[in-house]
Amino acid sequence: MVSCSKMIIKNRLGKPLLEVESTRDHLEGVVLENAHLPEADLREADLYEAYLPGANLKDADLRAANLRGATLRGANLQNADLSGADLSLDNINHAADLCGANLKGALLEDAYLYGAVFDTLTIWPDGYTPDTKTKDNGRPDVR
> What are 40-90's pLDDT values in tens digits?
888 888 999 999 999 999 999 999 999 999 999 999 999 999 999 999 988
Q: What is the pLDDT of residue 102?
A: 98
Of the two residues 18 and 88, the one the predictor is more confident about is 88
Would 92 be classed as within a structural domain? Answer: yes
Q: How far apart are the first and last CA of the chain?
A: 33
Residues 6+ apart with CB under 8 A from 85: 62, 63, 64, 65, 66, 67, 103, 106, 107
Would 22 be classed as within a structural domain? Answer: yes
Quote the mean pLDDT of the chain: 79
Would 138 be classed as within a structural domain? Answer: no
Task: Report yes or no: 29 and 68 within 8 Å, Cβ to Cβ.
Answer: no
Is the per-residue pLDDT at 8 higher than 70? no
CA distance 34 to 36: 6
Would 142 be classed as within a structural domain? Answer: no
Would 72 be classed as within a structural domain? Answer: yes
Is the per-residue pLDDT at 99 higher than 60? yes
Tell me the residue range of the domain where 78 lies: 1-128
Is the per-residue pLDDT at 17 higher than 60? no
Is the per-residue pLDDT at 2 higher than 50? no
Can you say how many angstroms the Cα of residue 124 is from the centroid of all Cα atoms in its chain?
A: 14
Would 1 be classed as within a structural domain? Answer: yes
